[in-house]
Amino acid sequence: MSAIRENVSRILAELPEGVALLAAAKTRTPEEIGEAIEAGVAIIGENYVQEAERAIAAIGRRAQWHFIGHLQKNKVKKQ
């Protein structure tokens, strides 16, 4: 089992009922994000529009996507 799968499994097992895990994907590859989704992550948070666009193009809508942190005004129209 990979480190990503092990970490996700451990974290999900520790969460109280009714609490959802949002995994921050900053600087992670689409392959790593996909592995986290396969391990049970249902919500992905991304800091940068450009990185989110690449990851969503590769992964699709297998998870919910959220922007985390500050979004620059010039990037808002890309949503």
Tell me: the pLDDT tens digits for 20-74? 999 999 889 999 999 999 999 999 999 888 888 999 999 999 999 998 987 666 6
pLDDT of residue 73: 66
Is the torsion defined by CA of 21, 47, 37, 57 positive or negative? positive
Strands ordered across the beta sheet of 64-67: 22-24, 43-46, 64-67
Structure tokens at 16: 């109280």
pLDDT of residue 77: 63
Residue 75 reports pLDDT greater than 90: no
The Cα angle at residue 53 between residues 65 and 51, in degrees rounded to 5: 90
- The mean per-residue pLDDT over the stretch 12-24 comes to 96
* Whole-structure pTM value: 0.83
Report d(CA 69, CA 54) in Å as an integer: 18
